[in-house]
């Protein structure tokens, strides 16, 4: 985890100190990544969530989680948080379903 310059939120990366090189290769997305991308679009089109709400949810992830997550892991975590906030999902039922128990 890198220290946030001047109390920034974790998404605000412009000029954030790093020695990392850019991995310029294209990587194929996994099925769940395509589906998460699509799910967010479908929910936005239906008016269940908005782009700005998604943005706020991604930007609210803790720094450590933000940096440790891949792009669609951030999306998925933010979407879940947003849907829990809206009362459409409960974190416990997502836990249970992901474990295969429900």
By the criterion CB under 8 A, which residues form the site for another protein?
Answer: 11-18, 20-27, 30-39, 41-43, 46, 48, 51-52, 55, 58-59, 67-68, 70-73, 76, 79-80, 83, 88-89, 93-95, 97-100
- Tell me the C-alpha distance between 14 and 4, whole Å: 11
CA distances from 23 to 20, 26, 27, 28, 46 (A): 9, 8, 10, 14, 35
The nearest distance, CB 42 to another protein, in angstroms, is: 5
Q: Which is nearer to another protein, 7 or 20 (CB)?
A: 20
Q: How far is the CB of 85 from another protein (least distance, A)?
A: 14
Cβ 44 to another protein shortest distance, Å: 10
């Amino acid at each position: 985890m890198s220290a946030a310059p001047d109390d920034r939120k974790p998404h605000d990366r412009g000029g954030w100190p790093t020695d990392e090189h850019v991995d310029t290769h294209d990587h194929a997305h996994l099925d769940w990544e395509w589906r998460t991308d699509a799910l967010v679009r479908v929910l936005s089109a239906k008016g269940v969530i908005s782009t700005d709400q998604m943005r706020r949810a991604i930007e609210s992830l803790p720094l450590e989680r933000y940096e440790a997550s891949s792009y669609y892991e951030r999306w998925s975590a933010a979407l879940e948080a947003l849907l829990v906030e809206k009362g459409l999902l409960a974190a416990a039922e997502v836990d249970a379903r992901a474990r295969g128990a429900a």
